[in-house]
Structure 1
Amino acid sequence: MPRLFPTLFIVVLALGACGERDEPPRALTVDREAAASSKAAAADNAAYIQPPKLEIPFHKETLDNGLTVIVHEDHKAPVVAVNIWYKVGSKDEQPGKTGFAHLFEHLMFNGSENFPGEYFEPFQRSGATDMNGTTDNDRTNYFETVPVGALDMALWMESDRMGHFSGAISQEKLDEQRGVVKNEKRQGENAPYGKAMDTIAESTFPPFHPYSWTPIGSMEDLDQASLEDVKQWFAEYYQPANAILVIAGDITVDQAMAKARQYFGAIPSTSVPPRLKNWELPVQPNKREILFDQVPQARIYKVWNVPAIGSKEEDALGLLASLLANRRNSLLYRRLVLDEQVATNVSSFYYGRQLAGQLIVVVDVKPGQPLEKVEELLNKELLAFAQKGVNVEELRRIKQSEFAELVKGLEKNGGFGGKSDILARSEFYYGDPGALVNGLQKYAEVSVGEVQEIANRWLKADSYTLIIKPKSEYSSTSQDVDRSKLPAVDKTVELELPQQQPFALDNGLKVVLAERHDTPAVFMSLQFRSGAAVDGEKPGLASIAARMLSEGAGDYDNLQFSAREEELGANIAAGSGLDYNSISLTALKNQLEPSLDLLADVITKPLFAEENLDRVKSNRLDAIAQEKAQPQGLAMRTLPPLLFGDQHPYGSPLTGSGTVEGVEAIGRDDLVAFHETWVRPDNATLIVVGDVTRKELEPLLNNAFSGWNAPRESLPEVNIPAVERPQKARVYLLDRPGAQQSYIMAGLVIPPWRPEGAEAFDAMADIVAGKFTSRVNMNLREDKNWSYGARAVSLDTVGQRPYILFAPVQTDKTAPAMRELLKEYRDFLGDQPVRKEELADYREDEVLKQSARFQTKGQLLSSIAWQVEKGLPPEYLAEYPQRVAALTQPQVEAAAREFLAPDQFTWVVVGDLDKIRKEVEALDIGPVIVIGEQ
């Protein structure tokens, strides 16, 4: 029974394969006869709720060479998603040769026989989005979303690496990507709890079981991978008959099938290795292990081996995981985090795979709480739940909530969880692209008794327990396609944005509506000036205020509020940035009115209960400790006060969590004052995107917000003082003994955003360090193999902006990496300014990327919110492609001279100082200060 993706516990029944050659497209809808036949049974099931009526029309066909092709038409945006799943993952490796599937995924981005360059290059000048590759135990996939005019290019590239790749694999490329993967492994293991999944895999599955190692593999096996090994891997597994191709978007079935035959049809398939489908469920482990790591708090993992994907228990196992944790109302979160307050977070998930599944519960123990006490309470609650813990109303709410998330998620064609991903996943695991939606009826029918029986069967004392404690305080020959050159990309982009309809409510609140009727959902965001910039002497106040809005409002306490959200299939969230806070709502169309009433309670009548504030503050302090234990978090906390000063509105940590002193000082009166001062209709704008008209929406909003009015007091001004850059670079070091990597971060204060020259700045920033193919990333990742990735970002603030460069690198390359980073920036400002081809690639990519920029309601909402925040007219978004297309080299060079100053960087480096300090000091780029050293 397929699951959508690991974080969404929608599970459904697989029905037979569908759509043979020449069969017309079939809609993925709930089978009406099946629904009718189960009506009587559902009537007797108190946990039954009516599933949503969803459609994902598709056509499925198998080419003569065995390639499975699935096509879905969606004409709302001029983009097409391409998603290829290869039926090979780390389970197909052999002991001693682990990590091959993931290593090969990396190699596949290093060009093919007919395109020997970086695979990303033609995509990053063609407007591609949602582009990546992933490997797990069961499969490897590659995906991208491109403008319609770039589809031939995308299919040429994907087919070239499927049919013309073996000759492109060289020892040099193997060594390069081996280095990248090893740095990825170091980066993962360097993070707190980074070794947990490797340990769990090895300890819960018997030796030689395909799941007894993780996809990243071992350092030893990666070192031993030979050129012959990887070529054999390609020959055995990367064949049409071992792959699923999904084409979804603004294209007809006939057009898509013609292109699939044109580009893939002549690639031959040889003998495909038999696919592992069955494996006896491993014996339930009864084992306990303890690891020590540089973590700020202990963590408990409990693991049970359970049936695999496709088992009859899958639906109930997914629901069981949601009942246990992940929600405010779930058993373990309620008992351990809210009631007893012995944990800061609890999560659980059903980790379903082809050969076996696992039910995993994770508890972050609150610092200062005895681990034994927390574990005893956890075991007690699990035992009680297994005996009689399933509640019918909770089960109904979970189903409604999951259905709502599914409806909202079906807007996107590509990327993680998009429709192309759903179709491929369903075909891969069940041989039926329609398995997901066709199984919703079965999912809706899962009863309390079924889930209780599953809980009783699997939540046994026999299980695996892992405790992590703090170390201290803290090639074919097809001639059907011209392989001599890449197909040209059609640069024509026809983009139709819904008209923005501004209006004001009776209370003066400004509203901007953009109608989009593709799915029955409505997205809203209320944004109001405030943010960390108004925290004053209590850094963290704005973000704590945002967090507390979901802790109860109106007549609902925190648990009742969460239950009401689930009943409605709605989600209300609050966010906090440097200059703005926001309150968002996603709701189903048929539940819009009661969802708006709940939103109005949050806006006008938050409870700010003392007992909840104490818990939220305590958990925030624990989160700050977590940040300090992570190299990236530590750097993000350290850099802002060095750039702006610790008294500046932007001097608080970039993580948004505040400071220990600030959080500790926050009281309920502060939250009330913050709310009264800033959450007012004359300081806010409501952006609405979705399946609703102004005629429907305006009276609903006026009714919901009828009691919300601006106070008599004037709105306070927010003062953001300007700061001066240091005249010379400064280097700050933070010691992390034993770290396998150093985390390098460099910051620079740059002028505020303004419309004039904004496109030139973005082009400059992207080319030097902002994207995968940037000069900085190509140097450290692809050329040197010192880092898994190096990038730079600029925060979009009202005042002066922080420009931040970050690069995690292997320890022995810390100083050399800093030297290379400086070299790239100095070259860019000196004798190697932006090249003509770099700018041309950027222009084309950025213009074509607009095809996918407004594909979902969430994307459209975010863009309009940004436009409104900047005080720009609606046409600013529509005219953006023309402004980018007109960019010139002198404009980009001028932007570099205005904004970049590498010799004024403020550096923060987190690493093992015994190994890196002398070399960093020898760089002589500025004074070196060790933070914390007396």
Structure 2
Amino acid sequence: MRIRPLTSAAALAAALLLSACTTTASTAPAAAPTPAEHTASVQSATPQELVAKVEIPYDKFVLPNGLTTIVHTDSKAPIVGVTLYYKVGSKNEPRGRTGFAHLYEHLFFGGSANVPDFDVPLTAAGSTPTNGSTWYDRTNYVETVPTGALDLALFMESDRMGYLLPAVTQDKLDKQRGVVQNEKRQGDNQPYGLFEYALAEGLLPVGHPYRHAPIGSMADLNAATLVDVRKWFIDHYGPNNVVLVLSGDIDAATARPKVEEWFGQIPRGPEIQPVAAGPVTLPAPVTRDIADQVPVLRLTRNWTAPGLNDPDTPALKVGMHILGGLASSRLDNELVRGKQLAVSVTAYDQVFEQLSFLQMTMDVKPGVERVVAEGAFDKVVADYLRDGPTQDELRRAVVSMLSSEIGGLERVGGFYGKGATLAEGQVYSDDPAQYKRDLDAMAALTPAQVREAMGKWLSRPVYALNVVPGPRTDSGDTMGGWGDEADSPAPPPDTRAKAPPLPPAPERAAPPVQPVKDLVFPAIEYATLSNGIPVALARRTAVPKLTLALDFDAGYAADALDTPGTQGLMLDMLDEGTTTRNATEIAEAQERLGARIDISGSLDTSTVTLSALSDNLAPSLDLMADIVLHPAFAPDEVARLKAKTQAELAQTLATPNDLAARALGASLFGNHPYAQPADGLGNAASLAALTPENLRAAHAKWLRPDLARITVVGDIAMDALKPLLERAFGSWRPPAGAAPDKPLDTAIPAANGRIVLIDRPNSPQSVIMAGRVLPITGRTPDTEALNLADDVLGGGFLSRLNQDLREEKGWSYGVGSQVSQPVGPRTFVLRAPVQADRTGDAIAAIIAQLRAFPAKEPVTAEELQRVTEGTIRELPNQFETNAAVQAGIRKNAQLGRPDDYYVTLASKFRAIDADTIAAAATRYLRPAGLTFVIVGDRKIVEPQLGKLGLPIEVQVAPAGAAEERQE
């Protein structure tokens, strides 16, 4: 697969889960609601009323060859989501062939009898995303295309469903094998990266279909042959094992003849035989510790439980959400905010078709004794199993999950949109509307039912799998397979085996793309509050929700005028207590309202975002205003958040990609404000020095109405919105004195080509990041040609860098580049995680690509069409959701662009030719002066770098980021 999303069987549940919220603040005299007003303001719709708002009407038909097609009409945008679920996943793999379903999915993108390459035509037609994934229960493929490209998408999907094998060669198999193995290395290389392997090993016996990892083992991937490929295709990819969903600007009367035309002649295949794969009860409790290069001890408690169609599953999902999914969960309240023994906690039910994994985690606060942490962790569970949830906890959990589901109805396609929801209902439950039954079941739950289900399944013997800081002693290369390879090696491939005969492949011609409608960007209304805060509104009524962003001209670059990490910690403190509410009360109020308040930062901006049900906007705004205007910065809470942030910093420094990004930013910007870490975490020394007074001062300095802007997108009119905003924020006045000004004109160090090697021993992969500051800013006009040049070079799956290092050489799971768009100086940055033994070769290949473009290898006609007309065609896809529209409006305001910027992009792109792109590449995308940062194993990497002719600076990875070297 090209990405590795969550389990498909749990896709709906994943879309429902509401993560812990963060918030933001501001200092100014605005009257705080009284506690009595708080109580009155949080009345919200009942779970049953929310369920009534969740509806995905559909039509269904089945072709004579068994292909099941579901059609859902949603004409808000001229796009159609095309979603195919093949009823085969890693659980269907035999011994010795683990990882094969996923490897095959990669091959599925390599072309078919009448389609030389799957990605090129769809990208040229404006498809986004074009992707696939493999999990235990299924393999799925998705693309969202302009309505005029639907026939092309159906032709291509049908050609690879029926006539793939003539295009599958040994060369393609070998290259994609390399890509998949680098995907495995990339996952294994992360902190806690071997946990999932060890989890399955402890919970399930050898041979259980859910025991081996979908990514498989290195040995089994090496053993895959062309015979395997043909057999897998013939045995599993018949139309009778497929559910096709068309969702969006399409109806059943139009869809049926198209599906019959393109898929009707494909013959049935064998039926996939069911596998026995239910939950397993351990005979006795088991404890296992694994060592890893991690900053904090992670304790976990794990059980298997029933699959998604079991009547206990709704209660288990909600019960685990109450235990560790809510922002006000039992684990958070007891271990993070209460006893302050943990820096983070979670609990969830990861649901698959035939079983699920119940998991609780506790990241122990540094300095806390393990025995104390474990005792408290287990006591929370024991108390919860004894008492069960309260009615209020249950209601808050269900309302928050249902509110999130309503928001998810905006997307017609993709991995988690309406198409996937309908497909999974059909695949797993023989009912596209299964989502509705699941939601009804959750809404009808009682505390007693949750208590009973949790007691039934969590009172069984537990698997306590813990990750302890220390040298990593296991290797991902030997994990992920069947599990008995050490004693019973899998038989080698039979080199005498003959491949099954290829089915005949008729000649078929791709249909042309019909005219694609131009982007229609929503009209924007403007208003100004009495205190001067500008308000922008784009009304969209597809779902009864809205998203509201309160942006401040601050961001992490503001730390150039303060202590590093100040802005981030101040923002994190906003929802940790106001003058009238504590953190738990803030979290509970959001959950009752079905609202979500997130606080985030970027280099330029500090943002508080509210996602709310339209009917509950007034009380949701009251809560948001309290958080923004009246943060308490209580000393005890500041101390707790500092400890948590310090643990997050340690985790960041232990993560190769994050470590490389921090090092590159510091190298490129010197003393410029943009040298501040883009993660907002500052450094250990600066975090330790921060006080409540520092945070209070930063809040007053930066979160003020004369630095603020409000952007709203969703189901509300301006005449209803403005009075609510006026009530919440209108009395807020700026403090005396001029607003602070970030010195974005600070001088930047001269570009200096070099390599910074950060030694991280025993890393199976090297993370390469490279960059250079460009002589333009985000507000420099007419830089569209530069963006298109970057698209050709590294800006997408079909870019030159990705095609070279991933598709051609197989050294990486994915390579890309980006030209940033901040307010100040822009940067050109590329990222390439590669297998360790190819680090030097990869850098040489990157430099060669940069040198060749455009002088030796000018822009091709195919590339020009893809980055201009293809990009134009995909514009309607990019603004499907309220959040995407809001992001576009905010970016226009930040960079001083007109409201119709995205509408005029079509004409701008059509006026850009190959020579204009080449000129931009020649000026801005050259290899000279690039700083390369490598996070990898010095003993493997450094000998490869001498031939590059660049000066090398070696640094040691920060403490906790590197293992002790194993000689």
Do the structures match in fold with TM over 0.5?
A: yes
Matched, 1:570 2:595: yes
- After superposition, the Cα gap between the structure-2 partners of 1:459 and 1:200, relative to the gap in structure 1 and judged at 3 Å, is same
- In the TM superposition, residue 48 of structure 1 has moved relative to its aligned partner by 7.4
Q: Which residue of 2 aligns with 1:5?
A: 12
Matched, 1:593 2:618: yes
The residue correspondences of 1:623-662 to structure 2 (distance < 5 A) are 623-645=648-670, 647-662=671-686
Query: Contact between 1:787 and 1:810, CA under 8 Å: does it hold in 2?
Result: yes
Letter in 1 for 2:433: G
Q: Which residue of 1 aligns with 2:484?
A: none
- In the TM superposition, residue 679 of structure 1 has moved relative to its aligned partner by 1.9
Q: Which residue of 2 aligns with 1:753?
A: 778
Matched, 1:143 2:168: no
Q: Which residue of 2 aligns with 1:678?
A: 702
Distance 1:732 1:541 in 2: 28
Query: Secondary structure of 1:578's match?
Result: coil
- In the TM superposition, residue 573 of structure 1 has moved relative to its aligned partner by 1.0
Matched, 1:893 2:918: yes
Distance 1:521 1:207 in 2: 47
Q: Which residue of 1 aligns with 2:25?
A: none
- In the TM superposition, residue 894 of structure 1 has moved relative to its aligned partner by 1.7
Q: Which residue of 2 aligns with 1:664?
A: 688
Gaps of 5+ in 1: 12-45
Query: Secondary structure of 2:840's match?
Result: helix
Q: Which residue of 1 aligns with 2:572?
A: 547
Which of 826, 829, 834 pairs up with 2:859? Answer: 834
- In the TM superposition, residue 895 of structure 1 has moved relative to its aligned partner by 1.1
Distance 1:478 1:175 in 2: 24
Query: Contact between 2:751 and 2:773, CA under 8 Å: does it hold in 1?
Result: no
- In the TM superposition, residue 614 of structure 1 has moved relative to its aligned partner by 1.2
- After superposition, the Cα gap between the structure-2 partners of 1:50 and 1:912, relative to the gap in structure 1 and judged at 3 Å, is closer
Q: Which residue of 2 aligns with 1:64?
A: 64
- After superposition, the Cα gap between the structure-2 partners of 1:103 and 1:435, relative to the gap in structure 1 and judged at 3 Å, is same
Query: Contact between 1:3 and 1:9, CA under 8 Å: does it hold in 2?
Result: no
Q: Which residue of 2 aligns with 1:800?
A: 825
Distance 2:699 2:472 in 1: 36
- In the TM superposition, residue 282 of structure 1 has moved relative to its aligned partner by 4.6
Q: Which residue of 2 aligns with 1:430?
A: 429
Distance 1:282 1:91 in 2: 19
Distance 1:90 1:698 in 2: 53
Distance 2:931 2:9 in 1: 49
Distance 2:403 2:269 in 1: 44
Q: Which residue of 2 aligns with 1:703?
A: 727
Letter in 1 for 2:267: P
- In the TM superposition, residue 278 of structure 1 has moved relative to its aligned partner by 6.0
Distance 1:376 1:572 in 2: 33
Distance 2:101 2:10 in 1: 22
- After superposition, the Cα gap between the structure-2 partners of 1:548 and 1:567, relative to the gap in structure 1 and judged at 3 Å, is same
- In the TM superposition, residue 814 of structure 1 has moved relative to its aligned partner by 0.7
- In the TM superposition, residue 422 of structure 1 has moved relative to its aligned partner by 0.6
- In the TM superposition, residue 911 of structure 1 has moved relative to its aligned partner by 1.0
Cα shift readout 1:616-651 (whole Å, capped 9, x = no counterpart):
111111111111111111111211111111x32111
The residue correspondences of 1:475-514 to structure 2 (distance < 5 A) are 477=504, 483-514=507-538
Q: Which residue of 2 aligns with 1:532?
A: 556
Letter in 2 for 1:676: A
Q: Which residue of 2 aligns with 1:925?
A: 950
The residue correspondences of 1:374-523 to structure 2 (distance < 5 A) are 374-460=373-459, 462-471=461-470, 477=504, 483-523=507-547
Matched, 1:369 2:394: no
Cα shift readout 1:260-292 (whole Å, capped 9, x = no counterpart):
111111111132232336646454662111111
Of the structure 1 ranges 371-380 and 817-826, higher mean CA displacement relative to structure 2 is found in 371-380
Query: Contact between 1:105 and 1:134, CA under 8 Å: does it hold in 2?
Result: yes
Letter in 2 for 1:180: V
Cα shift readout 1:208-235 (whole Å, capped 9, x = no counterpart):
1101111001111111111101110000
Query: Secondary structure of 1:903's match?
Result: coil
Distance 2:685 2:279 in 1: 54
Distance 1:732 1:75 in 2: 51
Matched, 1:817 2:842: yes
Distance 2:721 2:106 in 1: 49
Distance 2:609 2:16 in 1: 23
Q: Which residue of 1 aligns with 2:714?
A: 690
Query: Contact between 1:552 and 1:561, CA under 8 Å: does it hold in 2?
Result: yes
Letter in 2 for 1:288: T
How does the TM-score come out when normalised to structure 1?
A: 0.93
Query: Contact between 1:725 and 1:904, CA under 8 Å: does it hold in 2?
Result: no
Query: Contact between 2:137 and 2:352, CA under 8 Å: does it hold in 1?
Result: yes
Query: Contact between 2:113 and 2:159, CA under 8 Å: does it hold in 1?
Result: yes
Q: Which residue of 1 aligns with 2:355?
A: 356
Distance 2:592 2:462 in 1: 34
- In the TM superposition, residue 485 of structure 1 has moved relative to its aligned partner by 3.0
Of the structure 1 ranges 270-279 and 541-550, higher mean CA displacement relative to structure 2 is found in 270-279
Cα shift readout 1:486-537 (whole Å, capped 9, x = no counterpart):
2211243233222100111122110011111111111111111011111134
The residue correspondences of 1:718-797 to structure 2 (distance < 5 A) are 718-724=742-748, 726=750, 728-750=752-774, 751-754=776-779, 756-797=781-822
Distance 2:102 2:539 in 1: 42
Query: Contact between 2:779 and 2:824, CA under 8 Å: does it hold in 1?
Result: no
Gaps of 5+ in 2: 1-7, 19-45, 474-501, 959-967
- In the TM superposition, residue 665 of structure 1 has moved relative to its aligned partner by 2.1
Cα shift readout 1:107-165 (whole Å, capped 9, x = no counterpart):
11111111123x21112212111221111110000001011111111111111110010
| Structure having greater relative contact order (Cα 8 Å, sep ≥ 6) | 2
Which of 545, 550, 560 pairs up with 2:585? Answer: 560
Query: Contact between 1:284 and 1:305, CA under 8 Å: does it hold in 2?
Result: no
Q: Which residue of 2 aligns with 1:108?
A: 108
Q: Which residue of 2 aligns with 1:36?
A: none
- After superposition, the Cα gap between the structure-2 partners of 1:284 and 1:760, relative to the gap in structure 1 and judged at 3 Å, is farther
Q: Which residue of 2 aligns with 1:99?
A: 99
Distance 2:272 2:10 in 1: 26
Letter in 2 for 1:274: Q
Cα shift readout 1:658-716 (whole Å, capped 9, x = no counterpart):
21122222222222222222222221111011111111111111122232122332212
- After superposition, the Cα gap between the structure-2 partners of 1:182 and 1:908, relative to the gap in structure 1 and judged at 3 Å, is same
Kindly report the root-mean-square deviation, in angstroms, between the aligned alpha carbons of the 2 structures: 2.1
- In the TM superposition, residue 364 of structure 1 has moved relative to its aligned partner by 1.3
- After superposition, the Cα gap between the structure-2 partners of 1:284 and 1:839, relative to the gap in structure 1 and judged at 3 Å, is farther
Letter in 2 for 1:843: T
The residue correspondences of 1:823-902 to structure 2 (distance < 5 A) are 823-902=848-927
- In the TM superposition, residue 73 of structure 1 has moved relative to its aligned partner by 0.4
- After superposition, the Cα gap between the structure-2 partners of 1:724 and 1:718, relative to the gap in structure 1 and judged at 3 Å, is closer
Cα shift readout 1:169-190 (whole Å, capped 9, x = no counterpart):
1111111111111111111111
- In the TM superposition, residue 442 of structure 1 has moved relative to its aligned partner by 2.2
- After superposition, the Cα gap between the structure-2 partners of 1:724 and 1:573, relative to the gap in structure 1 and judged at 3 Å, is closer
Distance 2:734 2:327 in 1: 32
Query: Contact between 1:652 and 1:659, CA under 8 Å: does it hold in 2?
Result: no
Query: Contact between 1:640 and 1:652, CA under 8 Å: does it hold in 2?
Result: yes
- After superposition, the Cα gap between the structure-2 partners of 1:284 and 1:150, relative to the gap in structure 1 and judged at 3 Å, is farther
- In the TM superposition, residue 478 of structure 1 has moved relative to its aligned partner by 7.2
Distance 2:279 2:324 in 1: 28
Distance 1:478 1:252 in 2: 30
Cα shift readout 1:455-512 (whole Å, capped 9, x = no counterpart):
2222226111111111159965576xxx443221124323322210011112211001
Query: Contact between 2:208 and 2:277, CA under 8 Å: does it hold in 1?
Result: no
Distance 1:755 1:797 in 2: 11
Q: Which residue of 2 aligns with 1:242?
A: 241
- In the TM superposition, residue 731 of structure 1 has moved relative to its aligned partner by 0.8
The alignment of Structure 1 onto Structure 2 pairs a total of residues equal to 894
Distance 1:318 1:932 in 2: 40
The residue correspondences of 1:186-201 to structure 2 (distance < 5 A) are 186-201=185-200
